[in-house]
Amino acid sequence: MKIFFGDSTGRNNVPCDSPVPAPLDVSLAIFRDLKPGTGFLGIILNDRFTLQLVSRKIGSVRIELLDTTIPAFDACDSNSTFAESLIQAAADGRDVFALARIGEQEWEHLDMSQ
């Protein structure tokens, strides 16, 4: 999978306009090392969709499911266990959006094209 990220302890940032390939174990390590409050990890799911995880505080994560063609996103606050399950799904090529929506999280929608 291709990822981009910022503020992961001990790593140089990778901007969103030049994502790099990364296996599951590296992606999980980057996620676990995100600095609370500023760290983020983006995973390119396909040409249209991106999963972005923003570290809020230890164990708390803002999850954003972005549609880059509109642009719009659905977002929720959850825990790192749920976030890691979405990273695993992305690595396995499963439908991250479908998996995300079967959870108990309350999602908000923001359409930035208006």
Q: Convert the pLDDT of each residue in 77-104 to its tens digit.
A: 999 999 999 999 999 999 999 998 887 8
Q: Convert the pLDDT of each residue in 47-60 to its tens digit.
A: 999 999 999 987 79
- Residue 113: pLDDT over 90: no
> Given this model, what pLDDT does residue 103 score?
76
Q: Convert the pLDDT of each residue in 60-76 to its tens digit.
A: 999 999 998 988 999 99
Q: 55: left (phi > 0), else alpha (psi -120 to 50), else beta?
A: beta
CA-atom Rg of the chain in angstroms: 13
pTM: 0.92
Of the candidates 22, 16, 19, the one whose C-alpha atom is nearest the C-alpha of residue 1 is 22
